[in-house]
């Protein structure tokens, strides 16, 4: 049976969420008041002094690495790893500064390892990160053959002035959407099952994740108040926008072009499910109170496609996407 | 054939080292001059301002997790994970502040995941770390059954005054050794092959790694100049001491008691190999110019066994260990 949801693809999101909830109660003993509140939980913001904090995040690339392995194209998966972490950092307004990787493999194969590291170095260049360390573990009893896993850890710095808390997102603000390069690094377990053995489509899935950090940092440097919210569209799809503030909703009416790969993946899947799982051609959104032009111009200068895709509404926790439902109607997603 | 070296146990240390060297040249483009030089490469030290820096490190627990899985005793492997990172942070003089974990698993089993996280939370408490985030990934196609992997990322803060660079380690200074709880988290691939199916011995191997951060931080708070070098004894065994300074050597004459498990593991293995692979009962060393009593007293107050085990010599890059070689002679290790 062809899977039609993420759960059917073997990934139990609800179970994972329940685990995270239990984890939070476990670690409640720790004094989390030391952290500065920041939008969307994309990164933990730990103050160094009264004006400056470290932003900390970790991520992996999920099953995208299995596709890379299968196609023996390992040179860009490191870009994905860095992207997943670096894009999270700018969601809280931080400037990425340092990256560390964990790379575990059954048997260290020189060419593979070099390709993977090349990608990480390239990703760090794109993100403005310094690769400062890492751990390479050879574990033949855990990873079969050339199998491997990798995790990234990125650190940014953010001044109190630039910190994005989500509190400034208000009804009527514009939403700028920035185009993705394709599927990026989320929803791959489902996608790879849907494309089956089609090598061309698999290669499309491998397109590296875009790294949006430099334009975001440049805008914040020029005008810290120009951005009220940043969403990195990852697992959970466009619903991620709803993480930034509980007080608002969004209505998106002028969408970016949806890349072909999503048309293919969506043949037998409901639009709701698609927009809840994939980035659907939009890798990042930014909300702004009057500076959409500055945002679009800066992203364009870095080669990204960006446009106003909609606006902030007062329908709390509700994301309306026009024109993508049945017979061109709207769909309505909740967090 | 029973393996007699780490390489025979399937872990190719030389190959891994060559990879790290290539990696360094790859990332040379990055401007590493931004980092503050720190002893032993235990953590990258990235300045936040002129007086304060972040110390950053990542590590895993290696194949110790396979033993934990086999014995279905998962509640302490998280302590090991935190320990491997936190003990590295104090080697550069940093105070551990924040921890993130990456936890990847074939199938999320509630009881297993909870046990693992309990260990991480406990380890963070012991280390003085705040668990601020993490990533949980379910990847059925990568990890079989209950198999999993985990990586830890720890961040510390260090003032310039407390930073340990290794430059102050001089001939004649005393070396204080602190007892380990057993094998800690290094050399497990070799050890688990040596113990075969002996369940009692396997359980001994699972003894959690001791976390030495609090006494080290307390000593540095009282008297920053009391410690000239700190070595976390990990992969590479006692040779780790030689990483701190190229200008000195060490002569160790009054050793701590060697736990039984190492007697067993060493039955058919040369002492050189043992001291190059395992901690041999000593999990950390500290060098000091006159403050051995303060160090020993502070460690004792936290329940650790510590004593003067030898001193710094001017035999560059040479570690002499008395009384452990053939017929009670010395062995001589180089980096």
- Count of domains in chain A? 2
B104 and B154, same domain (yes or no): yes
Nearest to A46 among B19, B97, B108 (CB): B97
Residues of A in Cβ contact (< 8 Å) with B22: 114, 117
| pLDDT over 80 at A150, yes or no | yes
Owning domain of residue B108: 31-159
pLDDT at A13 over 90: no
Percent of chain A at pLDDT > 90 equals 84
Chain B residue numbers touching A133 (CB-CB < 8 A): 43-44, 56-58
Average pLDDT over chain A, rounded to whole?
A: 92
Nearest to A133 by CA among B142, B93, B156, B249: B156
Q: Is A5 inside any structural domain?
A: no
In a domain, A327, yes or no: yes
Between residues A326 and B266, the one the model is more confident about:
B266
The Cβ of residue A297 has, within 10 Å, a number of other Cβ atoms equal to 13
* Yes or no, beta carbons of A16 and B54 under 8 Å apart: no
Residue A85 DSSP SS3: helix
Q: Are A152 and A88 in contact (CB under 8 A)?
A: no
Cβ-Cβ contacts under 8 Å, A54 against chain B: 48, 54, 98, 155
Same-domain check for residues A215 and A320: yes
Q: Is the dihedral of CA A70, A74, A80, A86 positive or negative?
A: positive
* C-alpha neighbours within 13 Å on the C-beta side of residue B206: 21
| Domain co-membership, A103 together with A252 | no
pLDDT at A14 over 50: yes
A172 CA: distance to closest CA in chain B (Å): 33
Q: Is residue B297 part of a domain?
A: yes
pLDDT at A29: 45
- Which residues of chain B neighbour A185 with C-beta distances below 8 Å? none
What token pair was written down for B227?
């410690």
If asked whether residues B202 and B150 sit together in one domain, one would say: no
CB-CB under 8 Å, A15 with B44: no
A158 to chain B: closest CA residue: B48
pLDDT the model gives residue B144: 86
The pLDDT of residue A167 is: 97
Mean pLDDT of A310-314: 98
Can you give the three-state secondary structure of A217-236, one letter per residue? HHHHHHCHHHCCEEEECCCC
Closest residue on chain A to B186 (Cα): A137
A257 Cβ neighbours under 8 A, 6+ residues apart: A179, A281
| Residue A250: pLDDT band with limits 50, 70, 90 | very high
* A312 and A181, same domain (yes or no): yes
CB nearest to B131's CB, from A22, A30, A98: A30
Q: State how beta strands B249-252 and B306-313 pair.
A: antiparallel
The answer to whether position A169 is within a domain reads no
Task: Look at residue B1 and tell me if it is in a domain.
Answer: no
pLDDT of residue A240 exceeding 90: yes
pLDDT in tens, A115-141: 999 999 999 999 999 999 999 999 988
Residue B233 is classified by DSSP as -
Tell me if B60 and A137 make a contact (CB, 8 A cut-off): yes
B226 and B288 Cβ atoms separated by less than 8 Å: yes
CATH code (residue A268): 3.90.650.10
Partner residue facing A131 (CB), from B30, B110, B131: B30
In A, minimum Cα distance to B63 occurs at A139
Kindly indicate the confidence band of residue A216, based on its pLDDT and cuts at 50, 70 and 90: very high
Question: Bigger pLDDT: A32 or A115?
Answer: A115
N residues, chain A: 335
Domain boundary among B159, B191, B209: B159
Specify the pLDDT at position B29.
46
State which residues of chain B have pLDDT below 70. 1-32
The closest CB to that of B56, out of A46, A98, A157, belongs to A98
Asked if B124 and B239 sit in the same domain, the reply is no
State the CATH number of the domain containing residue A50: 3.30.1330.10
B125 CA to chain A: closest CA distance, Å?
Answer: 8
Q: Indicate whether A22 pLDDT > 90.
A: no
Nearest to B333 by CA among B231, B204, B237, B207: B237
In this complex, the residue of A62, A100, A149 whose CB is nearest that of residue B153 is A100
ipTM value: 0.93
- State the alpha helices, DSSP H only, in chain B: 13-26, 64-70, 77-90, 110-127, 188-195, 199-206, 213-222, 260-265, 271-277, 292-301
CA angle in degrees (0–180, nearest 5) for A327-A278-A230: 105
**Is residue B91 situated within a structural domain?**
yes
- Is A102 close to B102, i.e. CB distance below 8 A? yes
């Amino acid at each position: 049976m062809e899977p039609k949801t993420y759960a059917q693809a073997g990934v139990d999101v609800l179970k994972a969420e329940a685990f995270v909830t239990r984890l939070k109660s476990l670690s409640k003993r720790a004094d989390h008041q030391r952290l500065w509140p920041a939008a969307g939980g994309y990164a933990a913001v730990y103050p160094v002094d009264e004006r400056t904090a470290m932003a900390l995040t970790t991520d992996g690339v999920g099953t995208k690495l299995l596709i890379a392995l299968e196609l023996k194209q390992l040179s860009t998966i490191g870009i994905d790893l860095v992207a997943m972490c670096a894009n999270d950092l700018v969601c809280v307004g931080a400037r990425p500064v340092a990256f560390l990787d964990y790379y575990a493999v059954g048997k260290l194969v020189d060419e593979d390892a070099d390709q993977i590291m090349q990608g990480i170095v390239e990703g760090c260049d794109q993100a403005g990160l310094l690769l400062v360390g890492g751990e390479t573990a050879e574990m033949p009893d855990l990873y079969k053959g050339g199998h491997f896993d990798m995790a990234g850890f990125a650190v940014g710095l953010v001044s109190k002035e630039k910190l994005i808390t989500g509190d400034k997102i208000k009804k009527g603000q514009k939403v700028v959407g920035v185009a993705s390069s394709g599927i990026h690094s989320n929803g791959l377990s489902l996608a790879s099952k849907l494309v089956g053995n089609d090598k061309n489509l698999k290669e499309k899935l491998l397109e590296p994740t875009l790294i949006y950090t430099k334009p975001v940092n440049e805008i914040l440097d020029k005008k810290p108040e120009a951005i009220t919210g940043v969403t990195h569209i990852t697992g959970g799809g466009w619903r991620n926008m709803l993480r930034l503030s509980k007080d608002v909703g969004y209505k998106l009416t002028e969408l970016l072009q949806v890349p072909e790969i999503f048309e293919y993946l969506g043949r037998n899947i409901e639009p709701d499910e698609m927009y809840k799982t994939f980035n659907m051609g939009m890798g990042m959104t930014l909300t702004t109170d009057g500076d959409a032009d500055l945002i679009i111009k800066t992203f364009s200068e870095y080669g990204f496609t960006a446009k106003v895709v909609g606006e902030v509404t007062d329908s709390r926790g509700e994301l309306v996407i026009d024109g993508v439902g049945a017979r061109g109607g709207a769909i309505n997603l909740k967090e």
